[in-house]
Amino acid sequence: MGLTVVGTVAFDAIETPYGKTDKIIGGAGTYVALSASYFNKDINLISVVGEDFPQDYLDLLKKHNIDINGIQIKEGEKTFFWKGKYHKDMNVRDTLATELNSLENFDPVVPSEYQNTDYLMLGNLTPLVQRQVIERMKKRPKLIVMDTMNFWMDIMLDELKETISMVDVISINDEEAQQLSGKNTLVKAAKVIHAMGPKYIIIKKGEHGALLFGEGKVFSAPALPLEYAFDPTGAGDTFAGGFIGYLAKTNDISFENMKNAVIAGSVMASFNVEKFGTERIVELTEKEINERIAKFVELTTFNMRKI
């Protein structure tokens, strides 16, 4: 089933306790689309970059069967730039710079061949743009999933809430769920966010896994315990890509199948943190992905009788 993704395509500069990068390819849209590309061969990406964005990076997306006709290249403008630094505890990071550049006046064009896709992933970027993409589809997709970030909560909360009211699933990290809801437990936060519109809430807890809330049920997925995590940048977006990529591939949006999709997201995120930036998720094989799915099954299966 077709999948359309919108999100930033960016330059990132990253510093973790294990190393530092100069401007490399990043962006929520990049991570989502690359991750989803392992599940789905029909992916469209809507975004904007400046004229400084290298052709090699666009070719990398194309190599992963990602249709990039929806990426606008703005002459005379610069690409969105984000700089982040992780603490020793890599669940904590400081954003050192967010330069919107070409994202500032981005008016998304949804090419006609994208307008009928059944699955829509609103990756992290301006909430107004996320909403415009929904409005510019010919028909409402079967499933709309969104991700967002504290940055947008801080500067355009009302705009963000309007977009949230239009989606089926929101994927958000624990701190952001607390900020958005004003509640300090995740169960309460999920209830408040549910009342804002989405039927399903995914709360990501970094190296502690993710929770899926919906239909009065909860599912808990672990993160794979890893000896080394070099760079968590994009883990949330990679998770989202695996989640929606799996749903689009199986074309089943029941709660039961969403559990599998949460595991697919966790599998992809576990790879992403193993190397810097997108390095790991551009080189994966189906065999590696299947082996890791098996590890998750092993990690979460037990056979216990009631006492």
Q: Which amino acid is at 62?
A: K
Interface with ligand AMP in residues 65-84 (CB under 6 A): 82
Beta bridge partners of 169: 145, 200
Residue placing its CB nearer to ligand AMP in the complex, 2 or 26: 26
Mask: binding to ligand AMP, 134-173, rule CB under 6 A, as x and -? Answer: ---------------x-x----------------------
> Binding to ligand AMP by residue 101, rule CB under 6 A?
no
Token couple for 4: 């359309």
Nearer to ligand AMP, 193 or 240 (CB): 240
Q: Are 122 and 149 in contact (CB under 8 A)?
A: no
Give the pair of three-digit tokens for residue 172. Answer: 């958000």
Q: In the structure encoding, which two tokens stand for residue 42, read together?
A: 């029909």
Segment near ligand AMP (CB under 6 A); pick from 39-47, 108-116, 227-235, 279-287: 227-235
Residue nearer to ligand AMP on the CB measure, 83 or 191: 83
**CA 135 to chain centroid:** 20
Is 27 a binding residue for ligand AMP by CB under 6 A? The answer is yes
Cβ contact 174:201 at 8 Å: no
Among 6, 12, 202, 213, binds ligand AMP (CB under 6 A): 12
Choice from 233, 260, 266, 270 touching ligand AMP (CB under 6 A): 233
Tell me which residue has tokens 């947008």. Answer: 152
In angstroms, give the least distance from the CB of 125 to ligand AMP: 5
Binding site residues, ligand AMP, CB under 6 A: 8, 10, 12, 26-28, 82, 98, 124-125, 149, 151, 233-237
